């Protein structure tokens, strides 16, 4: 069994089409077909059900795919580990992040890190809260910036970097727009603009409202922070939003107001796997994050 055969197999399994897999890997279709045939001959089982050049995995093929994907990740990590031990300041950091930390937090940290290690490269993966946790557990990437920091989740450990406030973002013509502070209960009758169900920021906001005995009326939903800010800017409702997402500027025709009763916060930190070691370059960045946000926190306070 050769690594080349395994990579051909994985690509065909993902695309369910031999020609498309060959095109993606820049090799001849016949070469891919031959290697898959050789692999099946060696294993003594059919990995695919064939329908012309379209294919579907057999049950044993699906099991084999799961195992081989993990094997290839281990091989790739081992190769990277050797390369980075030779020179960790020229390696690559694979990291996940949510949209709420994409505008300021992560870019600021990466920019500061690359001033110290200018040849380090980054491979970024944006996604939802559960996507980031699952990605670290499965080994799609070895760390993620996340908020809030999960507690008691198996196979990962989290380090809190800072705690931030959740604030109200209102249209400029809102009756409470001139207030210095507002209570969440003051927004009881307002239409809310939130992330869809399943997003952690929605859960934080709904739980805060529940503490005061009401459920927010959700008029619109947005899957990223900029969409939500844009809908508030258009006057379509109000939202509660991490303050750091507004650090550079407010959206047009909106106002940011701190919350009281209750004061809503979230932790922001980094998660890593408990069952795998960080690669040398990733370890450099992981250690840098704690140092960087500790200094930043002292400066801001």
> pLDDT tens digits for 35-93?
888 888 888 898 888 887 688 899 898 899 888 888 888 888 788 777 777 688 888 99
Distance CA 267, CA 177 (A): 27
pLDDT for 296 equals 66
Phi/psi at 136 (5° precision) = -70, -40
Residue 198 region by backbone torsions, left for phi larger than 0, else alpha for psi between -120 and 50, else beta: left
Q: Find the angle CA(208)-CA(209)-CA(213) to the nearest 5 degrees.
A: 125
Give me the mean pLDDT over the 231-248 stretch.
Answer: 92
pLDDT for 253 equals 93
Whether domain 163-266 has CATH 3.40.190.290: yes
Give me the mean pLDDT over the 144-160 stretch.
Answer: 93
**CATH 3.40.190.10 spans which residues of the chain?**
84-161+267-300
Give me the mean pLDDT over the 255-260 stretch.
Answer: 93
Q: Which CATH class is domain 84-161+267-300?
A: alpha beta
Query: Which residues, including other chains, have CB under 8 Å from residue 136's CB and lie 6 or more apart?
Result: 96, 142, 143, 144, 156, 271, 272, 273
Whether domain 3-70 has CATH 3.30.565.10: no
Give me the mean pLDDT over the 117-142 stretch.
Answer: 93
Query: Which residues, including other chains, have CB under 8 Å from residue 121's CB and lie 6 or more apart?
Result: 91, 92, 93
pLDDT for 285 equals 96
Distance CA 125, CA 104 (A): 16
- Indicate whether 147 pLDDT > 50: yes
**CATH 1.10.10.10 spans which residues of the chain?**
3-70
Q: Are 157 and 271 in contact (CB under 8 A)?
A: yes
Distance CA 177, CA 190 (A): 13
Distance CA 73, CA 91 (A): 16
User: What is the residue-averaged pLDDT of the chain?
Assistant: 89
Distance CA 200, CA 271 (A): 16
**CATH 3.40.190.290 spans which residues of the chain?**
163-266
Give me the mean pLDDT over the 197-224 stretch.
Answer: 91
Q: Of residues 33 and 86, which shows the higher confidence score?
A: 33
């Amino acid at each position: 069994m050769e690594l080349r055969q395994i990579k051909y197999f994985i690509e065909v399994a993902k695309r369910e089409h031999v020609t498309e897999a060959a095109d993606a890997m820049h090799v001849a279709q016949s070469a891919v077909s031959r290697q898959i045939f050789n692999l099946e001959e060696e294993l003594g089982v059919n990995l695919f059900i064939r329908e012309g050049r379209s294919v579907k995995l057999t049950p044993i093929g699906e099991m084999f795919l799961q195992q081989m994907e993990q094997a290839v990740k281990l091989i790739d990590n081992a190769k990277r580990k050797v390369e980075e031990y030779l020179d960790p300041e020229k390696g690559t950091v694979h990291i996940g992040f949510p949209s709420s930390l994409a505008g300021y937090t992560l870019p600021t940290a990466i920019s500061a890190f690359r001033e110290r290690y200018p040849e380090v490269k980054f491979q970024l993966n944006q996604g939802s809260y559960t996507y980031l946790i699952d990605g670290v557990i499965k080994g799609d990437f070895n760390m993620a910036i996340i908020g809030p920091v999960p507690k008691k989740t198996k196979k990962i450990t989290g380090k809190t970097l800072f705690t931030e406030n959740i604030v109200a973002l209102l249209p400029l013509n809102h009756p409470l727009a001139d207030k210095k502070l507002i209570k969440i209960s003051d927004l009881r009758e307002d239409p809310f603009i939130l992330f869809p169900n399943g997003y952690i920021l929605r859960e934080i906001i709904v739980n805060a409202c529940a503490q005061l005995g009401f459920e927010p009326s959700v008029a619109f939903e947005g899957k990223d922070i900029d969409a939500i800010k844009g809908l508030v800017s258009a006057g379509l409702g109000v939202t509660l939003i991490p303050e750091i997402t507004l650090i550079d500027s407010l959206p047009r025709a909106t106002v940011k107001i701190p919350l009281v009763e209750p004061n809503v916060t979230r932790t922001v930190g980094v998660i890593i796997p408990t069952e795998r070691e960080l690669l040398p370059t990733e370890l450099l960045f992981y250690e840098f994050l704690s140092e960087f946000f500790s200094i930043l926190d002292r400066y801001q306070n």
